A and B are shown apart, each in its own frame.
Chain A
């Protein structure tokens, strides 16, 4: 029951983010100095920030930026992670050994630390942050998928597929992958939330999405210096993000 409610709320958030792509009540980057630090009112329900920008519009735009980045990051991690997991888990041998060694040594480091170092080398920006976080998300997916491929490779249906003359690629991705939904979906959910948190953290440090573009982390960071004047400008984007992450984890939890 409560899962249905969270699911509906999640749909609302996603629709808002899609709407935010094409339409916002005010242009999200428009500064209006007469509305500087204006408190929430009817025409600006979430108020305005230090530069007189409408928070609602920025939250809508920022939500879609954050969701886009997280989705792209998870997609990169899941696709490459599944391929690596499939190949190493199914074939085994020295390839498996080498890949898993590399994997484990990457997993040891906290992802925010590695992301900071990568950004120091490759530079900031939306595109870079997607690549950097996406690459950092590959090892965890690869590890989970590998263990599932190892578990399933000796099952009868895989043997049957092989006897029927299916090629390795076909066995891996047409026969085995669909049977791993129950492993992959929770990973996608957790991964999405982690990507969301990581992107927000990077943008908060000023190393992710660059101004004036809105992302939820960026908005919190920009307004955190004006907490006394405009608490809503920092608190509302943060609450929206926490809400989204909570909703995703509530919906994903029961799917396992």
Chain B
């Protein structure tokens, strides 16, 4: 309950900042409607009609009333379309792209992270495999994601001809072809993020493997695989799942840029074009939608953490976790 209240408070604060930031800028709906050549009297009249001369708090309340229903007014640039329609058309595409990408990340990084985290004998095949994965993750993390997208376009699109660069097919026309096209931008987003999760998971596994309870399990005679999958991995997965949820937010941020590389008509492209064209109602709408999503996702991560880690549900202090006197833990 407390969390929900905090969530609503944050959303309200964000809406206030978004509204204020864009209301101090020059240029408003009346000018975009009448054009810059309109006489000052006409502009003034329209401003009165549209309520643009009202005091700021009144305007904010009016704007918020509509924004709650995802109504952000009309775009300055395409005056016959509402912002809601503009966003609605592109939202599905971005959702599909981020979904593909996140699925890819999970499928690639969890098995590889587990593989890299396991203890190995030196100079065996899996030892060199781990070294290779470490090397590749370091490289993918150094390459800017959009450049990775360009390399993918060049190699798979132009050299191999597996897809046509810039030839996005709307999902309503042909879903399979659309998914095939989205596979490549999704990979460009997924690779660096998978590298991060592989690092995180293998590090978590190594950390858990060094703890006392693992030695206890071994000394009880527990077989190696059982210790690994039932004891170590279970504990290592708790922070990894939370981390993956945070990566989901990063994936959406990544799609803002990658959509530009592959000309995918999603939210990111809408936002970037709207910023370049100073189309503020659209920028406001997309901003509010994305920041709102981030805040909600974060609250969900917190709740998820409580759900999957049984220790956080018990109010007992763990033995050894108590701090020194006078220090809060």
Binding site for B on A (CB under 8 A): 105, 108-110, 112-113, 116-117, 119-121, 193, 197, 200-201, 204-207, 217, 220-221, 224, 227-228, 231, 234-235, 238, 241-242, 245-246, 249
Contact A220 B150 (CB under 8 A): yes
Q: Which A-chain residue is minimally distant from B147 (CB atoms)?
A: A238
Return chain B residues, CB-CB under 8 Å to A110.
249-250, 252-253, 294
B275 at the interface (CB under 8 A from A): yes
Cα–Cα, bound, A245→B21 (Å)? 34
Return chain B residues, CB-CB under 8 Å to A234.
150, 154
CB distance from B31 to the nearest CB of A (A): 18
Contact A206 B276 (CB under 8 A): yes
Contacts A/B (CB < 8 Å), 26 sampled: A108-B298, A110-B252, A112-B254, A113-B290, A117-B287, A200-B144, A205-B257, A207-B272, A217-B146, A220-B150, A224-B153, A224-B261, A227-B153, A227-B154, A228-B158, A231-B154, A238-B143, A238-B144, A238-B150, A238-B151, A242-B139, A242-B144, A245-B144, A246-B138, A246-B139, A249-B141
Cα–Cα, bound, A61→B261 (Å)? 24
B67 at the interface (CB under 8 A from A): no
Contact A121 B22 (CB under 8 A): yes
CB distance from B253 to the nearest CB of A (A): 3
Secondary structure class of chain A's binding surface, majority of residues: helix
Interface size on B, residues (CB 8 A): 42
Contact A206 B154 (CB under 8 A): no
Cα–Cα, bound, A201→B276 (Å)? 15
Cα–Cα, bound, A221→B258 (Å)? 12
Q: Which B-chain residue is minimally distant from A204 (CB atoms)?
A: B146
Return chain B residues, CB-CB under 8 Å to A228.
158
B25 at the interface (CB under 8 A from A): yes
Cα–Cα, bound, A220→B252 (Å)? 22
The contact string, 1 if C-beta is below 8 Å from chain A, for chain B 236-268, is: 000000000000011011101100110000000
Cα–Cα, bound, A194→B273 (Å)? 24
B315 at the interface (CB under 8 A from A): no
Contact A120 B144 (CB under 8 A): no
Return chain B residues, CB-CB under 8 Å to A197.
144-145
Secondary structure class of chain B's binding surface, majority of residues: helix
Q: Which A-chain residue is minimally distant from B157 (CB atoms)?
A: A227
Q: Which B-chain residue is minimally distant from A227 (CB atoms)?
A: B154
Contact B257 A204 (CB under 8 A): yes
B291 at the interface (CB under 8 A from A): yes
B169 at the interface (CB under 8 A from A): no
B142 at the interface (CB under 8 A from A): yes
Q: Which B-chain residue is minimally distant from A119 (CB atoms)?
A: B275
Q: Which A-chain residue is minimally distant from B253 (CB atoms)?
A: A110
Known: A113-B290, A121-B25. A246 touches B275 (CB 8 A): no
Return chain A residues, CB-CB under 8 Å to B143.
238, 242, 245
B188 at the interface (CB under 8 A from A): no
Cα–Cα, bound, A113→B18 (Å)? 13
Contact B275 A112 (CB under 8 A): no
CB distance from A123 to the nearest CB of B (A): 9
Return chain B residues, CB-CB under 8 Å to A109.
291, 294
Contact A116 B271 (CB under 8 A): yes
Return chain B residues, CB-CB under 8 Å to A245.
142-144
List 10 additional A-B contacts (Cβ < 8 Å) besides A204-B260, A220-B146, A224-B150. Answer: A110-B252, A112-B257, A113-B253, A117-B283, A204-B144, A205-B257, A224-B261, A227-B153, A245-B142, A245-B143
Q: Which of B1-39 contact A (CB under 8 A)?
A: 10, 18, 21-22, 25
Cα–Cα, bound, A221→B250 (Å)? 22
Known: A120-B275, A227-B153. A200 touches B146 (CB 8 A): yes
Return chain B residues, CB-CB under 8 Å to A121.
21-22, 25
Contact B147 A116 (CB under 8 A): no
Q: Which of B278-293 contact A (CB under 8 A)?
A: 280, 283, 287, 290-291
Return chain A residues, CB-CB under 8 Å to B141.
249
Known: A113-B294, A116-B275, A207-B272. A217 touches B144 (CB 8 A): yes
B106 at the interface (CB under 8 A from A): no
Contact B150 A227 (CB under 8 A): yes
Return chain A residues, CB-CB under 8 Å to B150.
220, 224, 227, 234-235, 238
Return chain B residues, CB-CB under 8 Å to A120.
22, 274-275, 280, 283, 287
B165 at the interface (CB under 8 A from A): yes
CB distance from A237 to the nearest CB of B (A): 9
B144's partner among A119, A201, A224 (CB-CB below 8 A) is: A201
